[in-house]
Structures are given as C-alpha cells and as structure tokens.
Chain A
Amino acid sequence: MNTVSVTFTINGEKETRQVRTDMTLLKFIRETLLLTGTKEGCGEGECGACTVIMNGKAVHSCMVLAAEIDGADIQTVESLAGSGELDKLQLKFMEHGAVQCGFCTPGMLMTAKALLNSNPNPTKAQIKEAIAGNLCRCTGYKQIIAAIQDSSRGGRK
C-alpha cells in the first residue's frame, strides 16, 4: 500500500506522519491520532458530523485525503477546550440545551467556530446558511442557532 509523508499542525502541535494514500482525514484523525471527538456520520459529505477546521475553513474531514494535509493547520473539536477550560461556544451549547444525542455536536461546534472566527457577529440568516450542511437528527436546530448567536460578539454576555 502506498504511503506519503505529511507534516501538519493538529490543534496547535506540529507533527510529521506517514499516511496511507487511500486514508481519509477523518479516519486519520480518529484511528491514527486517536482524536475521537470528530464523528463519522454519512462518510460522504452530506451530514457535517465530521467537520473540522482546515486552514481556517470548515471542511468535511471525510472528503479530504490525509495525504492532502501536508503543510495544513487542522483544528478538531478537542482544540476548543485545549486550554483546559471549555470554549464559550461549548458553554453556550450547554446553557441553551443545544445538545440532545450529541452526535452532531462536534461538527456543529466546529462549523460555528469557523463562522465566528470569520464573522464574529453573524445574523441568524448567516448562522443558518453556515450550518445548513450540519444535520441534527434530534432536530434541535432552534437551540443550536440560539447558542451560536449567544456566543457571538453581539450575544447577551
């Protein structure tokens, strides 16, 4: 099986690894780096559960080859509480009851994080557009949108 060497930053740490060319970034994150916060839903870019931030942009890790991350900066849901304290987004998700079964939550959080990084004060419509590709089967969208809005610069606290 073919492999290539990739050097990348994962949640702030620089690493070099040999990866199989047929491995997705999702599988690499979960099974090689053992960061299992990122979830596999559909595995084909429909559900958003595997969303990570790559070079500042929200992407489906199931739709990226591990071989493609050479030189890239990757952030997974584990980066949010990297300092030991929960991120404001995570606190707001808890406060608003935006987590039911929790399977979509890591992807929702990372899409929301990418949105707030590029647009600290999004409108409700912009939030909806950003998370349109993140499916929540418990359909708790209302609470999720409220939590993201509350985490923004214009949020309550």
Chain B
Amino acid sequence: MEYLKPVSRKELHLLLKKKGKNLRLLAGGTDLLVRIRHGKESPALIVDLKGIRGFDKISSNKKFISIGPCVTLQAIAEHDEIRRNFPALAEASRSVGSWQIRNRAPLAGNICNASPAADTLPVLVLYDARVKLSHSGRRRILSMKRFLTGPGKSALRPDEYLSEIRLPLPGEKRVLFEKFSRRKGLDLSTVSLAAGIFGRRNRVRLAIGACAPIVKRQTEAEDFLNEHGLQDKDLELACSLLQLSPITDLRGKAAFRRHIAARLVVATMKKLREDR
C-alpha cells in the first residue's frame, strides 16, 4: 500500500486522473481503517487529503456557509456560526461516535459513506445542503437528493472528490435532531430524525434516518402537516403517511423502527409547534 499526501489541489487532481481505481481518499480514516482491518478493502494507494491548504476551513459569504472536506465533526459541533444558524447540524455532528472519533472524522466522510444511518444526513437534507464534487478542471454542485443514490452509494465518481459542503443562509433555528439508539455514547442510530419549521411561512420539513435505503424528505407527511396544522390528531395522521422501508438488524426489527419513527415524529413536532 502506497501513501501519498498531496499539498495542492492540482497535485490531487493529477493523482485522481492518473491512478484511478484502487485509490482511496483518506481524511479521518475512522471508517476506512476499520474496513482495511476487516479485509473489506485493500487499496493500492491511499491519498491523504489533510495536506491541502484550506480543506480544514469553514468560511461564509452572504449566501452560504462553506465547509471544507477535512473539517471534523467536532469542529462543526463547536463552530459558533454553525451553532447560530444551523444548530441541528451541530447537534447531529455531536451525536456521532465518540469524542476521539469526532476529533478525526470529517462531515464530508459521513456524507460520502452515504450510510442510511449516518446521523448528519437527515439534518443536511432538511437544511437543503449542497455538495461540490471536483475533478481536474471540472466541478458540479449537487443537492443531497441527487448525491445520495442508495445505501452506501452516491453520485461521486472514482475520479472526483467532495471538495465543499454548502449550507444555504439564512439557516433555521427551529430545527430539532433526535437520535434513538441502544446506548447514548458510541452507537449507530436505530432511528434518527430531523424536523423543523422553516421561514416566514412556517413550513414543516421532516426527514428520517436509518429507516430507508436513502435519507430523504418525508414530503407527503410534510404536505399534510402544512395543510392541516400540528394538532395532536394531525400528527398521528401524518405518521401514517411516512415513507419508510426499514430493515431488521441487531439495532431493531423493522416493525420496531416504524413504531419508534412515528413516536419520534409526534414527540418532536409537539416540541416544535410551540414556536410556530
């Protein structure tokens, strides 16, 4: 296994162009090193992204906050501007793994692994985050909806890398992230949920994690709530419109996940409706 640490984007682009297939990008390594240890992957070349200037920076302009590909989950959880504008993203980032993992693992890795149980995905979907995918001389900006294509699958091509995450401003404070897991620290979600009330028109947004192959907005339930309101009876009816196809695994049976998802929706929307 070869290890290279490019110091410029240009150098990285050349590597991606030349080396192609059996190359793996390394930022935090908290997933990749486990996969290598288990023999699930044996890359010929590891390209460490942490040597490129600016990749560990969070910046902002009038339109969005921009997060570099090496910005760790802990840095996001502690970042003032993110906490002010996107509090639920700070909360979700803080719920991942342990302190040691958050000190290494970047948000970009959580996105690129595209796990249906990735804790930051429901929140990113809710905030309408965009990802910039770069390639030598080209780049494209995708919505989360277009980026996430299946469990563990994304639109990222082998010669591309995620170069930036954009969070559109103004953010929204009235968003809650909830995670249901077997133990509080260091566990994957059995069910996760992001729910919020957005903008002057108080529109409901809702996304549920770990209950379907792809994390996406629950548009039918959202439309129903936006039309009918947030009374107890509306919340119960909205739960019957959730688009869920959970699996049964060691974290919970499918029916249990459906039940928990519905209870989380009701409990979280009740907390939110005070602000509507």
Distance from A124 Cβ to chain B, minimum over Cβ atoms (Å): 14
A133, B97: Cβ atoms under 8 Å?
yes
The interface centre, meaning the residue of A46, A130, A133 with most chain B CB atoms within 10 A of its CB, is: A133
Q: Is A21's CB under 8 angstroms from B2's CB?
A: yes
In contact, A22 and B1 (Cβ under 8 angstroms): yes
Q: Is A105 an interface residue (CB 8 A)?
A: no
Task: From known contacts A21-B3, A21-B46, infer whether A129 and B99 are also in contact, taking CB-CB under 8 Å.
Answer: yes
Q: CA separation between A51 and B98, bound complex, in Å?
A: 11
* Inter-subunit contact B99/A64 (CB<8 Å): no
Count A-B pairs with CB separation below 8 Å.
83
The interface residues of chain A lying within 8 Å CB-to-CB of B103 are 57-59
Interface of A is mostly: mixed
Interface residues as binary, A65-100 with B (CB distance below 8 Å gives 1, 0 otherwise):
101101000000000000000000000000000000
In the complex, what distance in Å separates the CA atom of A65 from the CA atom of B104? Answer: 12
User: Within 8 Å CB of A2, what residues of B?
Assistant: 1-3
Total contacting residues, chain B, CB less than 8 A = 27
Spot the interface stretch: B28-36, B143-151, B205-213. Answer: B28-36
Q: Which of B3, B33, B74 contacts A24 (CB 8 A)?
A: B33
How far apart sit A40 and B193, CA to CA, in the bound complex (Å)?
35
Q: Quick one: given A2-B1, A21-B1, are A65 and B99 in contact (CB under 8 Å)?
A: no
Number of interface residues of A (CB under 8 A): 29
CB distance from A5 to the nearest CB of B (A): 11
Within 8 A of B (CB), among A1-28: 2, 4, 21-22, 24
Q: Is B185 an interface residue (CB 8 A)?
A: yes
B223 adjacent to chain A (CB < 8 Å): no
A133 in contact with B98 given A64-B104, A68-B48 (CB within 8 Å): yes
Closest to B29 in A: A63
Is the CB–CB distance between A60 and B100 below 8 Å?
A: yes
Instruction: Report the bound CA distance from A101 to B30 in whole Å.
Output: 27
B255 interface residue per 8 A CB criterion: no
**Distance of A130 Cα from B77 Cα, bound (Å):** 13
Are the C-beta atoms of A133 and B185 separated by less than 8 Å? Answer: yes
For B46, the chain A residues whose CB sits under 8 A away are 21, 65, 67
Q: Could you name 20 residue pairs across A and B whose Cβ atoms are closer than 8 Å?
A: A2-B2, A4-B3, A21-B1, A43-B37, A45-B30, A45-B97, A45-B101, A48-B98, A60-B100, A60-B104, A63-B100, A63-B101, A63-B104, A64-B29, A65-B26, A65-B29, A67-B3, A131-B99, A132-B98, A133-B97
Binding site for A on B (CB under 8 A): 1-3, 5, 26, 28-30, 33-34, 36-38, 46, 48, 50, 74, 97-101, 103-104, 184-186
Give the B-binding residues of A (Cβ under 8 A): 2, 4, 21-22, 24, 43-46, 48, 51, 57-60, 62-65, 67-68, 70, 111, 129-134
